[in-house]
């Protein structure tokens, strides 16, 4: 297939691009490189350096590539920025996504696979793990934007027959994630442990997340090429892990001991989330295969192999 990946030079997007490329698909990437980097892409994968809000430039790419599938990962992913600059967040995450949908219809793409957020869309569910039928109650502008795009996808299917698959990611982590960013606690804590820097937990350490390794996320995206039409899937392990447990696990796996401090809880962040992925298992045939300890070990190994400063411009820190 001809696959166009938006945000494809970042952490998740470039990993998905590599997976599609290895499977023999014809992959093209769009990324403005505001946080992504060209070095994340395998040699031979074309990169168009544009912003998805630039409709005219994006249309020229669609006209040239005429993709069968669009893997839509481009986004403003920082929840704190979405609270500080909600107009910017909406411009990128809603209007930019609408540009992608409009062009998908105009150039007759067969499908859009949308990277949504299981961590932000459900808000604070009354029971966990959340299923796809759990009420969507986002508590951040970022979560509202992701949910809005999901609603637009349903409307575009009804109006124009555009096929979609929505993947609601848990907290994705693994190699290529930015250890210097504002989000992506595994990479941040891992980098700080290796550099013997003080780590910060926002809150009392009891906040929980569901962590899914990048290789499993790539597998979900490969399966979604052929399955899961017009459906929503949680992509997570269904296991709550606290911030403090992540910190301790990284110290154990990395064999490094660094200091820890606590800071006030940050607005817009849910306190507890985990995703039930049984629907993905039943429909897509997807199941997570990498446990937390194994995934942390692979991530630490990658961070240890990187030269200092190499990751400062990595994209898509996967704060989901």
Given the residues 20, 122, 142, 173, the one annotated as active site: 142
Q: Can you state the angle between helices 292-305 and 243-254, rounded to 10 degrees? A: 60
| Burial 212-237, CB ≥16 within 10 A → b, else e | bbbbbbbbbbbbbbeebeeebbbbbb
Joined together, the tokens standing for residue 127 give 């029971």
Joined together, the tokens standing for residue 242 give 């606290």
- For residues 153 and 18, what is the distance between their CA atoms, to the nearest angstrom? 26
- For residues 115 and 232, what is the distance between their CA atoms, to the nearest angstrom? 10
* 107 is known as an active-site residue: no
Phi, psi (degrees; rounded to nearest 5) at 239: -120, 125
Residue carrying the six token digits 């249309």 = 59
Whether residue 2 contacts residue 65, with contact meaning beta carbons closer than 8 Å, is answered with yes
- Burial of 268: CB neighbours in 10 Å, binned 0-12, 13-18, 19+: middle
Active site residues: 142
């Amino acid at each position: 297939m001809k696959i166009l990946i938006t945000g494809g030079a970042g952490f998740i997007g470039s990993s998905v691009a590599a997976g599609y490329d290895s499977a023999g698909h014809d992959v093209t990437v769009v990324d403005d490189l505001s946080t992504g980097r060209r070095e994340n892409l395998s040699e031979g994968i074309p990169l168009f350096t544009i912003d998805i809000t630039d409709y005219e430039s994006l249309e020229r790419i669609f006209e040239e590539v005429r993709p069968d599938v669009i893997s839509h990962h481009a986004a403003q992913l920082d929840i704190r920025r979405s609270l500080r600059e909600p107009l910017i967040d909406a411009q990128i995450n809603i209007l930019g996504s609408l540009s992608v949908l409009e062009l998908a219809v105009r150039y007759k793409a067969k499908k859009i696979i949308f990277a949504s957020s299981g961590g932000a869309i459900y808000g604070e569910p009354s029971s966990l793990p959340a299923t796809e039928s759990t009420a969507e109650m986002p508590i951040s502008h970022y979560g509202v934007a992701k949910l809005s795009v999901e609603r637009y996808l349903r409307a575009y299917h009804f109006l124009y027959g555009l096929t979609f698959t929505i993947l609601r990611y848990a907290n994705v982590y693994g190699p290529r994630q930015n250890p210097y960013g504002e989000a992506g606690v595994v990479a941040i804590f891992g980098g700080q442990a290796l550099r013997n820097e003080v780590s910060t937990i926002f809150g009392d350490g009891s906040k929980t997340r569901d962590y899914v390794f990048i290789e499993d996320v790539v597998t979900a995206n490969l399966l979604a090429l052929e399955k899961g039409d017009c459906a929503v899937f949680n992509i997570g392990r269904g296991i709550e892990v606290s911030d403090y447990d992540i910190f301790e696990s990284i110290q154990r796996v990395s064999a490094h001991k660094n200091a820890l401090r606590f800071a006030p809880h940050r607005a817009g962040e849910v306190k507890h989330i985990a995703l039930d992925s049984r629907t993905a298992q039943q429909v897509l045939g997807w199941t997570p295969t990498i446990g937390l300890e194994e995934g942390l070990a692979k991530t630490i190994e990658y961070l240890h192999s990187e030269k200092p400063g190499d990751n400062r411009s990595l994209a898509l820190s996967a704060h989901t």
